[in-house]
Structure 1
Amino acid sequence: MNRLREHIEEVIPLTDEEFDRIQTFFTLKNVRKNQFLVNEADEVKFEFLALNGIYKVFYIDENGKEHILQFAKKNWWMTDYVGFFKQKNATMFVECLKDGQVLCLTLEGREKLALEFHKMEHFFRVKLTNGYIALQQRITLLLSSTPQQRYEEFSKLYPDLILEIPKKYVAEYLGVSRETLSRLYVNSNKM
């Protein structure tokens, strides 16, 4: 739970007493490679904070094609947020790509934390705002850049992920074929 405290204190300071209470809202879960934290059509009970491991958040379209919205690693939050906040069944999947651990937080727990600790309400707002900004930047990049630019931006932002995630998933995330990804890699190394 020390990692949870460090993560929260990147945004807000906590006393020992505050943290002792806050940590009671979280449960630790070990996750194996290929295990799903969220399955499409299931009730979305938790928001997850990755302590370690690598995860992907994705959906499958009506043609059976997978679309990756997000990768998550240490200190990243993830879930199917529509299902979580609207208390609806999932339309997304959250899958573990590399063994790890997550902290699980229910919506009820999140709301109680925000009511009980104004600091936590601020923390959650900062995290949601940062997530929204990242999503908006991702959409803008997908709509207005070339595959080469998307690859270079991903490589710059996430140099460790590009080495740890199977190339087929990187290609899906960038919206290109596996073959195109290979060409992008060769082109970026020529520069």
Structure 2
Amino acid sequence: MISNGPCSRRSSRLRPARPRRAAPRRNGPGTASSTRSATSPTTLGGHQIARASPVITRLYQDRDLMRLLSSLLGEAVVAVHDPVERHVLNVLHRPGDTHGAHTDDYPLALVLFLEAPPHHTDGGLLEFHPGRGNLGALDAPGARRAHHRPADGYLLRSDITAHRVTPLERPGLRRTVLNFAYTTPGRQGATTSSASLLYD
């Protein structure tokens, strides 16, 4: 059974594509958090990645990878149909850049680190609360932080686990991750309210 928290693993290094800056988005009604700020990640959506890097698309669709994820989850794992959400490149590169509190639309996020701050005091840490989807749980007892290095990766049950990334603390730091979203058969539509706050 997969943990609601991240499972860290080493991954192969990938060369990041040129990212584009995501436009700021206002919070919608009924959202649990207003953590989106002007210092949110630079984002490159899956449709752009697919045009620029067939290798990343082939890795995302790899049957052996999906079999491994299925065995960890304990049920069938399939690719996300949405061409924008299936794989996303997120880049934090300025002091204060953060990735606000949210849950994801799809159940699994496989996150691969291309670049990461060298020390945990530099920021860019994953914060999560295992088994708690309420965004306020990130400030409650039981919330955890994890520091990652380039070539690290983690698997997160991201639809029911509140998570965010802490702000970068100084100039010259970069946190670049490739996020592969996976789902289960019959679950292809957006199901959470907070993920829509992060991307246009």
- TM-score class, shorter: 0.3 to 0.5
TM-score by length of 2: 0.32
Larger radius of gyration: 1
Larger RCO, structure (CA 8 Å, separation 6 or more): 2
